[in-house]
Structure 1
Amino acid sequence: MQSEMLTALTQTLPDLARNDSLSGGSLLIGYESAQEVGRFAARAGWSVHVPGHPDEVRAAVRKAAAGTGQAYIHVSRHSNAEPRAAADGFEMVREGRAGVVLAVGATLDPVLRATAGLDLAVLYATTVRPFDAVGLRTAVLAADHADVVLAEPYPRGTCAHQVAETLVHVPHRLLALGDEDGLDGEHIARALRDFVR
C-alpha cells in the first residue's frame, strides 16, 4: 500500500508540470532515502526539507519548485497526524524549561508523546538547511538547562554539527537520535529519561 506521503508527492509533481510551475532551480526528491539527507545537507547552497505530513510535502514541493535555488526534499513513509503551518524556521510547539527537543519531520508525533508530562520545549523543523540557528539558540537560552535532544528521521547526528556551531559559546549537552534508534515514542521516552536532568 502506498503511503500518504508518497501519494501527496506523486499528486503534486504532475500538477506542477501541467501548470508550468517549475522554475530554473534544481529540485531533487528522495523517498525513504535517509542516507541522502546528510549528503545534500553537506553541500553548500542546497536547502534540505523534511516535511512531516502530506500537506507539508505538497507545500515543500511547490515552494521549492517556484524557487531558483537548489532544494532536496526527503519524503518518508511515516507522517504526523496533523500538518503544521509552514514556517521558515523552527516552530515552538511546546514550551518547557528543562531542555529543548528538536523534532525533525515525522518525528514530531512520537516526540510529543515521549515528552508528555515533561518540562521540555519542543521545536519542530521541516527545513534543516538552512539551519535555524536563531530559533534553536533562543529556545536553549530560555531553558534552565542547555540540554538539547535532536530527533531526526535519518542517520543520527546529521544536524549535530549545526547544533554545536549554534551553541559554540553556550556550554550544553546534546543527545542525537536517528532512524537507527527506533524513533517511536517509547524509544524516545527511554532515551529522554536517561538524558534529562
Structure 2
Amino acid sequence: MHSDMLIAAAESLPDSTTSGTVLVGYGALEELTRFAATPGWTVHVPGHPAEVRRAVLAAVAGGERAYIHVCADSNSEPRGATEGFELVREGLDGVVLAVGSTLDPVLRATTGLDLAVLYATTVRPFDEIGLRTAALAADRADLVLVEPGLPGTSARQIAETLVHVPHRLLALGGADTRDEEALGRAVRGFLR
C-alpha cells in the first residue's frame, strides 16, 4: 500500500516552481518531528492516497511552506478533513486524536468503547478549537494521542490547548500504532 501513498504525492507535485515550498517526506519520523516543531510550517499527515493528493494540491495552490508526511500505511477510505479535526465517532469517556494512517487501527482497537474519535490530517496549525470542544463535551478529559510519528510529537500543543482543562494524556506513536491489540490494551488500561 505504501507505493500508492508515494505515487499520489509524486503525481500531485507541480512541474513548475511556485511561491511556496512543499516538501514530501516518506516514513521519516525525525523529519516529521522537526517540521512539527518548526514555526511557520504547515504540517500535513494524510492517511490515504486521495488525502495526499489533496494536501499537495492545496499546499501548492496556497503557496504554503508545507511538509507532507507520507507513511507506508493507509486508511481504507479517505476522509473529508483537510484543516481542523474531524469528529469520526462520538463518545463521553474520553477523546482519541488519531493522526493520519492511525485512524483505521484506532477505530478497530477502540470498538465498543464510549470514546470520541477525532481525525487529523493537518497537525500544524493545530486545531485548538476542535480539540477543546471534544474534550469539554466528554465526561472526562482523558485524551489519547495516536500519531504515526514519534510518541508525543503533538503533546505540547495538547497541553497548551487544554491548559485550563484538567486532563490526562497518553501519547502513542510509531510502533505503538501498528499492533491493534496492544493499542486497545493501552487505551483500556489508561482509561481505568
**Aligned to 2:63, which of 68, 75, 85?**
68
Do 2:9 and 2:24's aligned partners in 1 also have CA atoms closer than 8 Å? no
Q: Does 1:4 align with 2:4?
A: yes
Match of residue 143 from structure 1: 138
Structure 2 gaps of 5+ residues are none
Partner secondary structure for residue 3 of structure 1: helix
Quickly say closer, same or farther: Cα 1:34–1:119, change in 2 above 3 A: same
Q: Does 1:184 align with 2:175?
A: no
- TM-score normalised by L of structure 2: 0.96
**Aligned to 2:166, which of 155, 171, 194?**
171
Aligned residues: 192
TM-superposed deviation, 1:193: 1.3
Q: Does 1:59 align with 2:81?
A: no
Match of residue 33 from structure 2: 38
Q: Which amino acid aligns with 1:23?
A: T
Do 1:94 and 1:120's aligned partners in 2 also have CA atoms closer than 8 Å? yes
Q: Write the distance in 2 (CA, Å) between the matches of 1:41 and 1:2.
A: 22
Do 1:98 and 1:143's aligned partners in 2 also have CA atoms closer than 8 Å? yes
| CA shift digits 1:81-111 (9 cap, x unpaired) | 0000133200000000000000000000000
Q: How does 1:106-125 map onto structure 2 within 5 Å?
A: 106-125=101-120
Q: Write the distance in 1 (CA, Å) between the matches of 2:173 and 2:2.
A: 24
TM-superposed deviation, 1:36: 0.6
Match of residue 83 from structure 2: 88
Q: Write the distance in 1 (CA, Å) between the matches of 2:11 and 2:52.
A: 10
Structure 1 gaps of 5+ residues are none
TM-superposed deviation, 1:3: 2.0
Quickly say closer, same or farther: Cα 1:58–1:175, change in 2 above 3 A: same
TM-superposed deviation, 1:183: 3.0
Q: Write the distance in 2 (CA, Å) between the matches of 1:63 and 1:182.
A: 27
Partner secondary structure for residue 118 of structure 2: strand
